[in-house]
Chains A and B, each alone.
Chain A
């Protein structure tokens, strides 16, 4: 069985994000980039399935600039077998990403597609669902547990108010939630092995897709700064402030 794992290069989760002065986006120059944490979980899940003998090949896909190769390489160092980079210089919105992935799905015909439920840069949480529609595949989103059950997968999903377990037929799309697993560290031997693994490069233009943007970013702003709290001496002062400053009492 073959898995396609989709990974996105995003600003590292440890980096304090800074909005560009002209408010068109966030600073990415000289900023540390890493694999989207939800996608790391997707890679880990695939590698675990391969270790259990459920899968025999893991293809790691990324869509982005030349630098996204590094992200694919990290996936290969965790245990992916080969990579595909669809090269584009423009920032694609979720629908367009789903369209591009659908082309790779047509080409690779994986039985299972695993990807993060969302990327931590734009938090869209749409690509997996859109891809399911385009490819007409079953989908299990927000997975916190995945188990093979005969020819199907039982997937436990984190939903409001509890857990839901659904059974999906193959081929299927699984989007990962935070608690699905803990991604491994890439060991030195595996990092060295990853250097030899192939990454195929495909130009996004070669698919002949209409990738026109339907979304327009008007402005990016910092979240409003939280004012530091103050210490009050006594209840009287507190009530006074609630009346005069916070204006929640009258």
Chain B
């Protein structure tokens, strides 16, 4: 694209500097609205000073709308913080300024007119007890000017011009080490993963062992494991950076670490000293690959009611039951199995977590262990690790393999890992979104119709602008929740918001990306068709979108 008519760069930045004050004031107004929505909902779901689950279920749609409202508000707050941090160190680019302006206006207009919880379900202000009067501040002169600026086609056109020159918004990591990590993993992904990813997907192959061992050498599995157990103890922001990059290449590559993350967190937080010594160093080195064995054919979202049984005789437990959707179930060495130890307790209180060692299988012989059998579930996307339905038939494990050597703690132990797992999943979603953006931008520049590259048509450019805006917003709320976690702040709600938003963004960005490809996007040969399939899972696992919204809403209503 022609670069000569770019608005002067300093001009863009100073336009935004003038608006920052208004953004701050708008956020204050949103805070007031948020309180109003909260009390509106509480009036129908609080009983005896507590949120009642049954009453909450009666206003489920609205309360999920509230979760989304808050997700938008916090996202905008963090988008602004991102820009302010960049600007305070003079690292803000004109593109960053445009993304801030565009993002603020787009999401504000959705808050005012209807938020897309999914592409069919729109939550409107009236659903949340808000009236047009509540939004009258939109018309105050300084605000309306700020909002209209961000909505203008000029802003989006400028964004796309920068994209076409190879610029992307700043990540805003603000730390030399994190930047180096990002740089190295970007290179690794560009050179070792992206050239192979589509072939792995189309042939429905496991990610090759060779790549796995390169990832171990790079330290992927040791990020979150404390130093005293052979890990790097690096924290969640580092994990997000690595995860986003790997997922940008191939979702399963970014998801290998999820398994180490879940098992690592389970053992780190819930294990005995002996269990930590025994398992954590090998998980960190990549020698032990883990798999999470929770879901059952009849219990997915409602895990608390699962029916796999573990019965104690003397020193051993015997486990029986059917599990399903077990990712990387074959090529793994250690299962974290959630099973019921107390049959009198039908709910989550009767559950315990077991560390079950197993021999590593392969595609020809997935389960080389007595009492364990299963079959592969063929899937649309998220390939590279393979999912299995597994039967556990009289599997014996020592008492020492009960996590924490305490019964009845399984669900609680699992919940403690949710913050980390959600943050990590949000980062995976951001990586998938970025990949859709990268691929589609290139295509839009290369493909010509009616005598010019299609990126020059407004409808293509608008899509790209929104793709980059939303990807940036999702990235910033994800990094925010990671920083909260690293600072030991409770962030279950923020982590849930990040996962909720990033998963929706990944799907819509992938879908727009495919649209930009036209017919070719529908061809298996073009990577965007894979990215679309990969994106679809993000709204389902690690808390389906509805469950995630439920958790956020309940958390918010219970918080104050």
In the assembled complex, the Cα of A185 lies from the Cα of B184 at a distance in Å of 6
Contact with A along B273-311 (1 / 0, CB 8 A): 000000000000000000000000000000000000000
Q: Which residues of chain B have C-beta atoms less than 8 A from A74's C-beta?
A: 180, 183
**A188 in contact with B223 (CB, 8 Å):** yes
- B25 close to chain A: CB less than 8 A: no
> Which of A30, A187, A195 has a CB less than 8 Å from the CB of B218?
A187
> Which of B166, B188, B222, B238 has a CB less than 8 Å from the CB of A185?
B188
**A73 in contact with B217 (CB, 8 Å):** no
In the assembled complex, the Cα of A189 lies from the Cα of B225 at a distance in Å of 12
Contact with B along A154-195 (1 / 0, CB 8 A): 000000000000000000000000000000011111011001
Given the known interface contacts A30-B91, A30-B93, A192-B232, the answer about A186 and B165 at a Cβ–Cβ threshold of 8 Å is no
Given the known interface contacts A73-B176, A73-B180, the answer about A188 and B219 at a Cβ–Cβ threshold of 8 Å is yes
Shortest Cβ gap from A231 to chain B (Å):
12
Q: Which residues of chain B have C-beta atoms less than 8 A from A85's C-beta?
A: none
> Which of A18, A187, A195 has a CB less than 8 Å from the CB of B177?
A195
- B397 close to chain A: CB less than 8 A: no
Task: Using CB atoms, name the residue of chain A closest to B164.
Answer: A16
> Which of A16, A185, A188 has a CB less than 8 Å from the CB of B165?
A16
Task: Using CB atoms, name the residue of chain B closest to A190.
Answer: B219
- A77 close to chain B: CB less than 8 A: yes
Task: Using CB atoms, name the residue of chain B closest to A228.
Answer: B448
**B165 in contact with A18 (CB, 8 Å):** yes
Q: Which residues of chain A have C-beta atoms less than 8 A from B222's C-beta?
A: 188-189
- B187 close to chain A: CB less than 8 A: yes
Shortest Cβ gap from B8 to chain A (Å):
10
In the assembled complex, the Cα of A70 lies from the Cα of B181 at a distance in Å of 12
- B32 close to chain A: CB less than 8 A: no
Q: Which residues of chain B have C-beta atoms less than 8 A from A187's C-beta?
A: 184, 217-219
- A34 close to chain B: CB less than 8 A: yes
* Most chain A CB within a 10 A radius of its CB, from B166, B179, B183: B183
- B59 close to chain A: CB less than 8 A: no
- B415 close to chain A: CB less than 8 A: no
**B184 in contact with A191 (CB, 8 Å):** yes
Shortest Cβ gap from A150 to chain B (Å):
33
> Which of A16, A73, A192, A195 has a CB less than 8 Å from the CB of B166?
A16
**B177 in contact with A191 (CB, 8 Å):** yes
Q: Which residues of chain B have C-beta atoms less than 8 A from A191's C-beta?
A: 177, 180-181, 184
Given the known interface contacts A73-B176, A192-B234, the answer about A34 and B183 at a Cβ–Cβ threshold of 8 Å is yes
In the assembled complex, the Cα of A153 lies from the Cα of B187 at a distance in Å of 32
In the assembled complex, the Cα of A187 lies from the Cα of B242 at a distance in Å of 11
- A218 close to chain B: CB less than 8 A: no
In the assembled complex, the Cα of A247 lies from the Cα of B219 at a distance in Å of 61
- A15 close to chain B: CB less than 8 A: yes
Shortest Cβ gap from A230 to chain B (Å):
12
Shortest Cβ gap from B324 to chain A (Å):
34
Within 8 A of A (CB), among B215-266: 217-220, 222-223, 232, 234, 238, 242
**B166 in contact with A186 (CB, 8 Å):** no
Shortest Cβ gap from B54 to chain A (Å):
47
Contact with B along A132-162 (1 / 0, CB 8 A): 0000000000000000000000000000000
Main secondary structure of the interface of B (DSSP, over half): helix
In the assembled complex, the Cα of A34 lies from the Cα of B183 at a distance in Å of 9
Q: Which residues of chain B have C-beta atoms less than 8 A from A188's C-beta?
A: 181, 218-220, 222-223, 232, 234, 238, 242
Shortest Cβ gap from B284 to chain A (Å):
10
Within 8 A of B (CB), among A76-102: 77
Q: Which residues of chain B have C-beta atoms less than 8 A from A77's C-beta?
A: 180, 184
Within 8 A of A (CB), among B160-181: 165-166, 170, 176-177, 179-181
> Which of B166, B232, B238 has a CB less than 8 Å from the CB of A189?
B232
Within 8 A of B (CB), among A179-216: 185-189, 191-192, 195
**A70 in contact with B176 (CB, 8 Å):** yes
Q: Which residues of chain A have C-beta atoms less than 8 A from B3's C-beta?
A: 18
Task: Using CB atoms, name the residue of chain B closest to A14.
Answer: B166
Q: Which residues of chain B have C-beta atoms less than 8 A from A189's C-beta?
A: 219, 222, 232
**A186 in contact with B234 (CB, 8 Å):** no
Q: Which residues of chain B have C-beta atoms less than 8 A from A34's C-beta?
A: 183
Task: Using CB atoms, name the residue of chain B closest to A74.
Answer: B180
In the assembled complex, the Cα of A77 lies from the Cα of B185 at a distance in Å of 13
Shortest Cβ gap from A128 to chain B (Å):
26
Q: Which residues of chain A have C-beta atoms less than 8 A from B165's C-beta?
A: 16, 18
Task: Using CB atoms, name the residue of chain A closest to B188.
Answer: A185
Q: Which residues of chain A have C-beta atoms less than 8 A from B184's C-beta?
A: 77, 185-187, 191
Q: Which residues of chain A have C-beta atoms less than 8 A from B187's C-beta?
A: 185
In the assembled complex, the Cα of A195 lies from the Cα of B177 at a distance in Å of 8
In the assembled complex, the Cα of A192 lies from the Cα of B184 at a distance in Å of 13
Task: Using CB atoms, name the residue of chain A closest to B185.
Answer: A185
Shortest Cβ gap from B95 to chain A (Å):
8
In the assembled complex, the Cα of A74 lies from the Cα of B223 at a distance in Å of 19
Task: Using CB atoms, name the residue of chain B closest to A195.
Answer: B177
Q: Which residues of chain A have C-beta atoms less than 8 A from B179's C-beta?
A: 70
Q: Which residues of chain A have C-beta atoms less than 8 A from B234's C-beta?
A: 188, 192
In the assembled complex, the Cα of A189 lies from the Cα of B230 at a distance in Å of 11
Q: Which residues of chain A have C-beta atoms less than 8 A from B177's C-beta?
A: 191-192, 195
Task: Using CB atoms, name the residue of chain B closest to A186.
Answer: B184
Task: Using CB atoms, name the residue of chain B closest to A32.
Answer: B183
Given pairs A16-B165, A34-B183, A70-B176, 10 additional interface contacts (CB within 8 A): A18-B3, A18-B165, A73-B176, A77-B184, A185-B184, A185-B185, A188-B181, A189-B219, A189-B222, A191-B180
Enumerate 25 A-B pairs (CB-CB under 8 Å) in ascending A order. A14-B166, A15-B166, A16-B165, A30-B91, A70-B176, A70-B179, A73-B176, A73-B180, A77-B180, A77-B184, A185-B185, A185-B187, A185-B188, A186-B184, A187-B184, A187-B219, A188-B223, A188-B232, A188-B238, A188-B242, A189-B232, A191-B181, A191-B184, A192-B177, A192-B232
Query: 8 shortest A-B CB distances, which residue pairs?
Result: A188-B219, A30-B93, A16-B166, A187-B218, A185-B184, A186-B184, A187-B219, A185-B188
